[in-house]
């Protein structure tokens, strides 16, 4: 019976998240030339633990904006590498913002997950899917790289190893501008 539950869980992760447990390469991110970048849509969202946050609070920083959920295994798998990326570049105006798409009332489960992984980046809540709709998120995880000018530099859908040399190159390129 436990084996059957594991198989069902993996299958649901595949159906719900658009990817099984396979990682995508950061090389899959097509970095848009600066002249062709569109502004990242602004938003205001509740913070895990209380208070509000706006995208504009991070103006002038390079942002990795990640949409995820606690029930999405590929999302959970990429979180440690996102934390590694955050730690590597936190002194250089780089920030990771994770937007949880979990249902209302899931704050305890989200907080427990964040604490267990010792994640140091802000986690925002999007239980009604308002921010996800603005960013046209249809599959999880989905990540956007936003440059210092508040424009979308790249997007990737699927779990990524953010602690890879390819990810470092992309972030360093965005930080250098």
Read off the pLDDT of residues 91-123 as tens digits, 9 standing for 90 and up.
999 999 999 999 998 999 999 999 999 999 999
Instruction: Quote the mean pLDDT of the chain.
Output: 88
> What integer pLDDT is reported at residue 23 of this predicted model?
57
Domain ranges, ordered by start, for the chain: 2-175
Neighbour count for residue 162 (Cβ, 10 Å): 26
Share of residues in the chain with pLDDT > 90 (%): 81
Q: What are phi and psi of 144, to 5 degrees?
A: -125, 140
Query: What does 126-149 look like in DSSP terms, one character per residue?
Result: -TT-HHHHHTT--SSSEEEEE-TT
> What integer pLDDT is reported at residue 20 of this predicted model?
39
For residue 42, is pLDDT > 70? yes
Q: Which CATH number fits domain 2-175: 3.30.565.10, 3.40.50.1860, 3.40.30.10, 3.40.50.720?
A: 3.40.30.10
Read off the pLDDT of residues 147-163 as tens digits, 9 standing for 90 and up.
999 999 999 999 999 99
Mean pLDDT, residues 75-91:
96
């Amino acid at each position: 019976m436990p084996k059957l539950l594991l198989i069902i869980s993996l299958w649901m992760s595949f159906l719900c998240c658009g990817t099984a447990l396979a990682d995508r390469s950061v090389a899959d991110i097509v970095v848009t030339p600066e002249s062709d970048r569109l502004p990242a849509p602004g938003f205001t969202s509740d913070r895990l633990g209380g208070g509000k946050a706006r995208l504009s609070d991070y103006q002038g920083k390079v942002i990795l904006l990640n949409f995820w959920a606690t029930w999405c295994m590929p999302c959970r798998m990429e979180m440690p590498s996102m934390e590694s990326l955050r730690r590597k570049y936190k002194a250089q105006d780089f920030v990771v913002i994770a937007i949880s798409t979990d249902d209302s009332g899931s704050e305890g489960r989200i907080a427990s997950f964040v604490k267990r992984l010792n994640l140091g980046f802000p986690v925002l809540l999007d239980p009604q899917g308002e921010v996800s709709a603005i960013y046209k998120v249809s599959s999880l995880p989905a990540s956007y790289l936003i440059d210092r000018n508040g424009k979308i530099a790249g997007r990737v859908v699927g779990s990524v190893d953010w602690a890879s040399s390819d990810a470092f190159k992309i972030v360093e390129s965005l930080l250098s501008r």
